[in-house]
Amino acid sequence: MKTLTLLAHELRSGTTSSRRLVEECLARIADPAGEGSRVFLKVHAQGALAAADYHDQLRRLGAQTSQWAGIPLSVKDLFDMAGDVTTAGSKVLADDPVASTDALAVARLRTAGFIPIGRTNMTELAFSGLGLNPHYGTPRNPFERPLGRIPGGSSSGAAVSITDQMAYAALGTDTGGSCRIPAALCGIVGFKPTARRVPLDGTFPLSQTLDSIGPLAASVACCATLDAILAAQPTDGLLPAELRGVRFAVPRSYVLDGLDPHVARNFERALSSLAQAQAQITELSLSELTELPRINRKGGFSAAETCAQHRDRLRTHAAEFDPRIAARILRGEEQSAADYIDLIQARGRLQQRVAAQLISFDAVLMPTTPVIAPSLAELEADEEYARVNLLMLRNPAIANFLDRCAISLPCHEPGTAPVGLMVMGAHDSDRRLLSLAAAIEPLVSPSLSGQ
């Protein structure tokens, strides 16, 4: 996978053109032997080619352009794009009015010169961590593709668009892990910023309390670039942190329960690499995390807030919903107004207690997901689907509930099942976290070092 830095260099040096990049991505999308038909719900081929020609012409004329100008990326089907219907991976919204303007996140990426090449598939309404979509098909994980492993969700198409080089970056969202889960299962990098770092204007909501907008890409540097653009901050090069003496906390309760042996081995290997770099690794009980299942026992913020949005549609168009998603939405009806207020207050108390436990640490380390990507066949039974979905969401959702930033880095050995290392920072410590991740990356993902 090519990084944004490498692509920018190739465009600047003339060894490639934006037209060539877009045409190559479109060819991969259209390949009948590939995943394009399941990855993209809509392809903006003509618009992407016209934008590519525009950026190439500016470079030929010697005009000042963004170094990222002309690089194709994909956009999750939760974002408004002028002239498109934002369907959120659902059939229910297909007849909604087209968007008149781009979502702010899309507009900022366009302004920086990126070319949206199409809208990517996702879990319906973003309400699952597995990435399955019975309406439009489920993109297959690049690892052991003939077996048909899941991509992770909800930003499923976003992740596979990068692994299959149908795009060189992806715009996603993360409410309980939706950038980081598919990144971990597919072997790329996914970043969840502090929730209000990137404005949600023009983004279809799942949970207004937990939703955040983040990138998926080939490297930490790529995600840092995209994050800066999305947050309207300078895109100056990210300097990796000095790891000597950096204090990492490793919770030994809750987040390590039920680990797949392959995940456990790679997680311990990553910790060993950091210790050899003279980072300080401290094991904590952090038993506060074990309270999360009880606090969210009635479905949490996502169920309550998405139920408020879709309950009327469920009454009139129930048959058009994925029944597994509908069942999760309807859990929101279990919550009364008093329950919702209790949930808000419980969240505030837990945030304070965890912050007190972590005040002396720079970041927290844990496996992004406790298991590798299962096959679609393993999730045919509803009970197994529900169990694995909760398992996938368990660790990533911690950062959303605590309103912290977090990133998933691949930490597996080449040729083996992808495993994600999650690094979680404090609220509003996004650039510090990315700097730490840039230092960790060459230790646990050496194939990306220096890119």
pLDDT one digit per residue (tens) for the chain, 451 residues: 999 999 999 999 999 999 999 999 999 999 999 999 999 999 999 999 999 999 999 999 999 999 999 999 999 999 999 999 999 999 999 999 999 999 999 999 999 999 999 999 999 999 999 999 999 999 999 999 999 999 999 999 999 999 999 999 999 999 999 999 999 999 999 999 999 999 999 999 999 999 999 999 999 999 999 999 999 999 888 999 999 999 999 999 899 999 999 999 999 999 999 999 999 999 999 999 999 999 999 999 999 999 999 999 999 999 999 999 999 999 999 999 999 999 999 999 999 999 999 999 999 999 999 999 999 999 999 999 999 999 999 999 999 999 999 999 999 999 999 999 999 999 999 999 999 999 999 999 876 443 4
DSSP 392-425: HHHTHHHHHHHT--EEEEE-SPTTS---EEEEE-
DSSP 368: S
**Taking Cα atoms as reference points, which of 253, 324, 337, 333 lies closest to residue 293?**
253
Torsion, Cα 412 132 254 174, to 10 degrees, reads 90
Q: Is 42 a catalytic residue?
A: no
**Taking Cα atoms as reference points, which of 91, 229, 86 lies closest to residue 169?**
229
DSSP 370: S
What is the model's pTM? Answer: 0.97
Q: Residue 449's pLDDT is what?
A: 41
For 320-355, letters b (16+ CB in 10 Å) and e give bbbebbbebbbbbeebeeeebeebeebbeebbeebe
Q: Residue 413's pLDDT is what?
A: 94
How many CA atoms lie within 13 Å of 114's alpha carbon, on the beta-carbon side? 25
The C-alpha angle with vertex 302 and arms to 123 and 290, in degrees rounded to 5, equals 110
- Residue 170: phi and psi, rounded to 5, are -145, 145
8 A C-beta contact, residue 211 and residue 204: no
- 286's tokens: 């952090």
Integer Cα distance of 138 and 157 in angstroms? 8
Strands 115-120 and 72-76: what pairing? parallel
Contact residues for 265 (Cβ-Cβ < 8 A; gap 6+): none
**Catalytic residue selected from 74, 154, 302, 435:** 154
Note the CATH architecture for domain 4-230. Alpha-Beta Complex (3.90)
8 A C-beta contact, residue 195 and residue 427: no
Q: Residue 236's pLDDT is what?
A: 84
Strands 280-284 and 247-251: what pairing? parallel
DSSP 49-98: HHHHHHHHHHHHTT----TTTT-EEEEETTB--TTS---TT-STTTTSPP
For 130-150, letters b (16+ CB in 10 Å) and e give bbbbebbebbbbbbeeeeebb
Beta strand residue intervals within 128-237, DSSP E: 170-173, 189-192, 213-217
Strands 406-410 and 189-192: what pairing? antiparallel
**Catalytic residue selected from 76, 161, 435, 445:** 76
Integer Cα distance of 267 and 371 in angstroms? 11
SS3 32: coil
Give the chain's count of helices (H) and strands (E).
16, 11
Q: Is 76 a catalytic residue?
A: yes
SS3 content of the chain, % helix, strand, coil (to 5): 45, 15, 40
Contact residues for 253 (Cβ-Cβ < 8 A; gap 6+): 285, 286, 287, 289, 290
Q: Is 435 a catalytic residue?
A: no
Q: Residue 309's pLDDT is what?
A: 95
Q: Residue 80's pLDDT is what?
A: 98
CA distance readout (Å), 323 to 138, 304, 354: 16, 17, 36
**Catalytic residue selected from 128, 155, 178, 219:** 178
**Taking Cα atoms as reference points, which of 414, 10, 368 lies closest to residue 176?**
368
If one counts every other C-beta atom within 10 angstroms of the C-beta of residue 287, the result is 12
**Taking Cα atoms as reference points, which of 163, 185, 183 lies closest to residue 173?**
183
